[in-house]
Every structure is written in C-alpha cells, then in structure tokens.
Amino acid sequence: MCSLNFSRGMYACGLQGQKCFEDSLFSCSDCCVSRINRHLSAVASSRVVLAPMAMPRVRIAVVGDVHDDWDSTKDRRALEVLKPDLVLFTGDFGNENVDLVHSISKLDLLKAAILGNHDCWYTIPRSSSDAVEAQLESLGNSHIGYSRMDISELKLSVIGARPFSWGGDDFGRTHELLKERYGIKGLNESANKISSLALNAPTDHVLVFLGHNGPAGLSSEPSDICGKDWSRTSTGDHGDPDLEMALKNVKQKGLHNVQLVIFGHMHKQLHLNRGDRTMLVRGPDNIIYVNAAVVPRVRNVSSKSNNTGITEWETIRNFTIIDVMNNQVTRVAETWIRVGENDFVDSETILYSCMPQ
Ligand SMILES: [Zn+2]
C-alpha cells in the first residue's frame, strides 16, 4: 500500500514537472522528496517501515551555442536561480570572441567547455592563431576537447570529443589545426583518442560526453537531432563519425555507465523557418542525446527607462537543465530564466522525465 502510493507520487511528479518547477523553483526531484517526507509522516503511526532514500541529485546546466550572447553578470544571476553542480558549454562562443571566452573563464562555478567551429572562424585554413591560443589559454583545464574531467565529488566524468567540429564526414578545413594541436590526423585516430579517454575513467563514475557536434548515426532527416538542414540538395546526417565510433567502442567494452551525450552546433530553429529540430533522443542503448543549441539564447522581453532616460531590458536566458539521480538521467528541460527586476524561471519545457530506479 505504502510502496504503491510512493511510486504513483514519483511518476506523477515526473509528468508534471512544469507545475513542480513553477510552484517551488526546486527541481522535480526535490518536490518528490518533499511529497515522500509528507507521506512518511502520514504513515508513521501505522508502523510501516521504509528503507531510507539516498539519492543525491547532480544538476547540470548546459549553455548551448553562445554566439556572442553572454553577460557575465546576468548569466551568473540566472545560474544562481538554477543552482547547478556543473555548467557545460558546447562552444561557438562567437567568431573567435576572445574577450567573451575570457569572461566565461572567470565564472566561479565548476565548468567544462569545448570550442566549436566558430571559435576558429578566422584561423582556418591557417593551422593556428593568437585568437585560438588565447581562448584555450583562458579556459585552461576547463577546455576538455580531447581530454577528460573527473569529478570525484559528483561521481561523474566528462569526456571531451573533437573540438572545432564543423560536422559531416571529415575534418574539413580543421585538418591542419587538429594535426598541429593534438596530433590527430584522421577520424579513426580521433575515435581512438576519445574512446581511450572514456575507457580510462573511473568505472564507478557516470560518463557524460561533451562535443561541439553530436555523433553520426542518429539522423536521416533535416529536422533530426544532428540533421543537416541548410541545403535542399544535401540533407540528412551531419553528426561526427568519430564520436559515433568512440561511443560504440565504449559501449562494447561494457565497463562504464554512459548516460549522456551533450552537444550543440545544429541549431534548434531550422533554416528558412522550416520549424524546430528534435533536441533530445533516447537511444536504443538508453543513452540520452541532448542538443542544447537554442539560438539566440538571450531574448529581450520587456523594457523600461531608468532615471537617466536609458532603456533597460529584462531578458530571458536559455539553459538546458539535466538532473541525474542515482547514476541515471531523470529529467531534461529547456529552461528560460528571466533576469530583471526579479530573477526567476520564466518557462520550461520538459524534454525527458523518468523515475529514478
Ligand atoms: Zn558550430
């Protein structure tokens, strides 16, 4: 009787995440815990004994392709509302916008980032430039292209895929850049590098892959999660084959708990106003694939003039919020935080929700 009510409560909460969030500004899981505690109080007198719950939640805030939309003060305020344990950036901060990357490097939260094709926009076809160097220096260990971040306190490792990806079947114009900086000369070497990073992660960690672009093998239509949408004659899968190969290698070994693959690059809004892209897929392998490239990620919503006659805008700022409980992704939401006179969750769309096991 008690277990049945408990399960119903959890499941209903997952389906009604919107209401949970609006009511409390806490996550759905917090709301569930609150309900559970109330329920436990109610049944205490009937001497029903339940095992204690021990499900710490890890919250990841993903900042999709920035494209010059970052304000260190306002986005820090938005993150204060969300209270993430980890912030991930999918790259394309601007067209080699060194100042913006430098301001992101100062964010005083645990973070990891990967540079995208726009972050080497003027470098190509040259193999290196001061701007690329400056961005990498600013980010330091927070840039995890072809590297790994182990976070023991979260029992989680972030695996960086190939940086500077343009998508498609080859390295394209980034060939020299990747060879010079990382010694990587082809897709097979790239796949081996990424899978080696993952296979050397602690086996009791949840694995999260972070790429600028997603893996091949998920798409066939322009509106698919990695679908190519800007050409009428050449559409379909625009994912990275090396990331697909690396994931296959890691899954075949079966040593790690791969929960998430996070990326951007292919924007949510399709070219020529042909609608929106699918932004989340749960694969047959139960891995959750998340495209976080909602562009533009900052929108003006209302304005007023201050005492000196200057117009001040309130904005909504986009984040994809991912909750992990019990080593399992339990909730993914496209979230807009309003920053202005008051800061709060303006809206959210639940992309995925499930009951922790
Ligand atoms: Zn890109």
Taking alpha carbons only, the member of 236, 244, 245, 286 closest to residue 266 is 236
Distance 114 CA to ligand 1 centre (A): 11
Distance 266 CA to ligand 1 centre (A): 7
User: Would the pLDDT of 125 be above 60?
Assistant: no
**Of 21-35, 234-248, 328-342, the least confident:** 21-35
Distance 221 CA to ligand 1 centre (A): 19
Give me the mean pLDDT over the 23-27 stretch: 31
Supply the pLDDT for residue 130. Answer: 86
Distance 308 CA to ligand 1 centre (A): 40
User: Would the pLDDT of 32 be above 70?
Assistant: no
User: Would the pLDDT of 29 be above 50?
Assistant: no
Distance 59 CA to ligand 1 centre (A): 25
Distance 269 CA to ligand 1 centre (A): 14
Distance 271 CA to ligand 1 centre (A): 14
Q: Whole-prediction pTM value? A: 0.84
What are the distances in angstroms from CA 94 to CA 64, 98, 125?
12, 8, 18
More confident residue, 34 or 47: 47
Locate the DSSP E strands across 155-196. Answer: 156-160
> What does the alpha-carbon distance between residue 218 and residue 215 come to, in Å, rounded to a whole number?
7
Distance 267 CA to ligand 1 centre (A): 9
Distance 250 CA to ligand 1 centre (A): 25
Distance 57 CA to ligand 1 centre (A): 30
Supply the pLDDT for residue 128. Answer: 56
Provide the percentage of residues in the chain whose pLDDT is more than 90: 71
Residue 126: pLDDT band (50, 70, 90) is low
Supply the pLDDT for residue 308. Answer: 81
**For residue range 192-232, what is the model confidence (pLDDT) as tens digits?**
999 999 999 999 999 999 999 999 999 989 999 999 988 76
Distance 16 CA to ligand 1 centre (A): 33
Beta strands 236-237 and 311-325 are: unpaired
Give me the mean pLDDT over the 173-178 stretch: 90
Give me the mean pLDDT over the 248-263 stretch: 97
Supply the pLDDT for residue 127. Answer: 53
User: Would the pLDDT of 17 be above 50?
Assistant: no
**Of 168-172, 209-213, 275-279, 343-347, the least confident:** 168-172
Distance 83 CA to ligand 1 centre (A): 27
User: Would the pLDDT of 28 be above 80?
Assistant: no
**For residue range 275-301, what is the model confidence (pLDDT) as tens digits?**
999 999 999 989 999 999 999 999 999
Supply the pLDDT for residue 86. Answer: 98
Residue 7: pLDDT band (50, 70, 90) is very low
Residue 11: pLDDT band (50, 70, 90) is very low
Following DSSP, what letter does each residue of 81-141 receive, concatenated? HH--SEEEE-S--SSS-HHHHHHHHT--S-EEE---GGGGTTTTTSS--HHHHHHHHHHGG
User: Would the pLDDT of 84 be above 60?
Assistant: yes
More confident residue, 19 or 234: 234
Supply the pLDDT for residue 40. Answer: 33
**Of 112-126, 140-154, 179-193, 198-212, the least confident:** 112-126
Average pLDDT, the chain: 85
Distance 295 CA to ligand 1 centre (A): 11
Distance 352 CA to ligand 1 centre (A): 24
Supply the pLDDT for residue 357. Answer: 77
Supply the pLDDT for residue 88. Answer: 98
Which domains, from first to last, does the chain contain? Answer: 1-54 (no CATH), 57-353 (3.60.21.10)
Distance 260 CA to ligand 1 centre (A): 20
Distance 80 CA to ligand 1 centre (A): 27
Q: Helix/strand/coil (H, E, C) string of 13-27?
A: HHHCHHHHHHHHCCC
Q: Which residues contact 210 (CB under 8 A, 6 or more apart)?
A: 88, 90, 112, 114, 144, 158, 159, 160, 161, 262, 263
